[in-house]
Amino acid sequence: MIELIPAIDIIDGKCVRLSQGDYKRMTTYNHDPLEVAKEFQDHGIRRLHVVDLDGAKAHHIVNYKALERIASRTSLIIDFGGGIKSDGDLEIAFDSGAQMVTGGSIAVKNPEIFLSWLDKFGYEKIILGADAKDGKVAVGGWLESSDKELIPFIDSFVKSGVRKVIATDISKDGMLQGPSVDLYKKIIAQIPDVYLIASGGVASVDDIEKLELAGIPAVIFGKALYEGRITLKELLRFL
């Protein structure tokens, strides 16, 4: 059964979503992310993906208080990302209640630090964030592109001990036009050892079923829930 991971993206302490990572195309869905998290939990959800979008822009954790509120008042298993650039950021995230941390830009710009976290905390607690724009890895809250090709980038880290990877096709994110199933199938085919978490574009329960049929282990989704395209009741069949 595919693992369901709803997303809460945070700006100024509020639950928001961007379209294609564009900070100018932001919609606010709830002023209290904790309310959203509690609703997820009440419907049987166990996992949560929390992104500090202010942190991604600022290159350090900003919304750790929101993480702390969610972690202390729910039993959700949370992975947290956005602005994780140093051991200090990592400690703040874990001290605030995250069970896992996602590093994206840091893995591109300072892979030595990222790999040291694997040694220090173990591969179960460290997730590689691999976000693609036109097949190239994007960094800095998707505001910058790198010259690294997505699949070789993921493969190099899996060979270094990474097991969990969140792969996002930025062109699909927040657009409600369906996920990049073919891309995820290609990643799984070339890197069979990876626990791949597909992210971006999910618009319906049918999209989740397509990913499950393709053998994708887990999926992150958000906007479809907030826009009412997917109801929490519909997700019960996967739980």
**Catalytic site includes residue 12:** no
* Spatial contact of 123 and 159, defined as CB atoms under 8 Å apart: no
pLDDT at 138: 82
**Catalytic site includes residue 9:** yes
| Residue 214, H or E segment | none
pLDDT at 196: 98
pLDDT at 142: 54
pLDDT at 18: 87
Structure tokens at 149: 């090709």
How do the pLDDT tens digits run along the chain, 239 residues long? 999 999 999 999 999 998 887 899 999 999 999 999 999 999 999 999 999 999 988 999 999 999 999 999 999 999 999 999 999 999 999 999 999 999 998 999 999 999 999 999 999 999 999 988 888 898 755 556 778 999 999 999 999 999 999 999 888 877 789 999 999 999 999 999 999 999 999 999 999 999 999 999 999 999 999 999 999 999 999 99
* Spatial contact of 46 and 77, defined as CB atoms under 8 Å apart: yes
Dump the DSSP string for 77-105: EEEEESS--SHHHHHHHHHTT-SEEEESH
pLDDT at 173: 74
54, 79, 89, 131: the catalytic one is: 131
pLDDT at 22: 84
pLDDT at 171: 82
Structure tokens at 115: 């790999």
9, 54, 79, 207: the catalytic one is: 9
Helix, strand, coil abundance in the chain, percent, nearest 5: 35, 30, 35
pLDDT at 141: 53
pLDDT at 143: 57
Candidates 44, 47, 118; CA nearest to 78 is 47
Residue 128 and residue 12: Cα distance in Å, rounded?
Answer: 25
